[in-house]
Amino acid sequence: PRKLPFIGNLHQLIGSGSLPHHSLRNLAKKYGPVFHIKMGELSTVIISSPKAAKEVLMTHDLSFAQRPTFLAADIFPNARSGLFSCPFNDYYKQIRKICTQELLGAQRVQSFWSVREEEVSNLIESISSSQGLPFNLSKGLLSLANNTISRTAFGSEKSKSQDEFIQLVKEMMTLSQGFNVPDLFPSV
Closest by CA position to 123, among listed 101, 138, 104: 138
Residue 56 CA neighbour count, 13 Å, CB half? 15
Confidence at residue 129, expressed as pLDDT on a 0 to 100 scale: 94
Q: Which residues pair with 73 in a beta bridge?
A: none
Confidence at residue 48, expressed as pLDDT on a 0 to 100 scale: 94
> Mean pLDDT per 10-residue run, the chain (188 residues)?
92 80 92 94 91 89 74 67 77 87 86 92 94 90 87 74 77 69 76
In the DSSP assignment, the letter for residue 80 is: G
Confidence at residue 175, expressed as pLDDT on a 0 to 100 scale: 67
Confidence at residue 141, expressed as pLDDT on a 0 to 100 scale: 92
Q: Give SS3 for 181.
A: helix
Q: Domain spans of the chain?
A: 1-64
Chain Cα centroid distance, residue 11: 23
